[in-house]
Amino acid sequence: MENNSDYNQSFAKMVRRHEKIIFSVCFFYATKDVPFEDIRQEALISLFKGYRNFRHDCSESTWVYKVCINTCLFSLRKLSPKIKTLSFDQLPIIHFQDDNDMELKEKLEWLYSVITQLNPMDKALILMWLDDIPYNDIASSMGIPRNTVASRLHRIKEKISSRKEI
């Protein structure tokens, strides 16, 4: 990163590469007190500040996940007196690229209802798992042993197994 302009451009490209990760993490962590736009702004600022020192110890996507989740957890804990999950309808309107999106909307609504019932740590775990982040990377991001990732996923499965499918 030679100068600020290069750095800003490189950062903007990185954000474009991982915009869906940023979106999904902020989408599932947004609350009434910390709305989606605010939490995404927090995540983007954290990414901007940290990208200069990204050491490529893990893949870029894993790092983006880690920063976004850490920022969400930190922001929620420090800013919000009480975490209240929003109903799906209160979330920002989702624009799908396809016009025939009713089925997709239903699927996303179902996913939202399943994922938001989890506690924030389990939410972080499942979000990374959904995107096929390797167990080792999930373990290092979460600060838990690799085996614990598997056992926690098993517990999450039990927790949501009673839910109806769409």
Partner 1 sequence: MELEDIKSKWQSVKPLIDPQLNDEIVKRSISKGTDAKSRLLKRSLWSQIFVSGCLMLLATSRIWAPVKYPYWWLILFCIILLFTILCSLRGYNIVKKINLWEDSNTKIMATVVSLQKQYRNMELITCIAALPLLLWIPFMLPSVKTWGIFFCWSFTLLAFIFEYVWYKSNVKQLNNLINWENE
How far apart are CB 59 and partner 1 at their closest, in Å? 14
Cα 129 to the center of its chain, rounded Å: 11
How far apart are CB 119 and partner 1 at their closest, in Å? 5
- Count the neighbouring beta carbons within 10 Å of the beta carbon of residue 20: 11
How far apart are CB 135 and partner 1 at their closest, in Å? 13
How far apart are CB 96 and partner 1 at their closest, in Å? 5
- Strand segments (E) across 5-90: none
Please, which residue, 119 or 147, has the CB nearer to partner 1? 119
User: Contact residues for partner 1 (CB under 8 A)?
Assistant: 8, 11-12, 15-16, 19-20, 22-24, 40-42, 44-46, 48-50, 53-54, 63, 66-67, 69-71, 73-75, 77-79, 81-83, 92, 94-98, 101, 104, 107-108, 110-111, 114-115, 119-121, 124, 126, 129-131, 140-144, 153, 156-157, 160-161, 163, 165
d(CA 74, CA 85): 16
Please, which residue, 40 or 89, has the CB nearer to partner 1? 40
How far apart are CB 52 and partner 1 at their closest, in Å? 10
Please, which residue, 89 or 123, has the CB nearer to partner 1? 123
Please identify which residue in the block is written with the tokens 């927790």.
Answer: 159
C-alpha count within 13 angstroms, C-beta hemisphere, residue 157: 8
Q: What is the dihedral of CA 40, 89, 85, 77, to 10 degrees?
A: 20
- How far is the first Cα of the chain from the last one, in angstroms, to the nearest whole number? 48
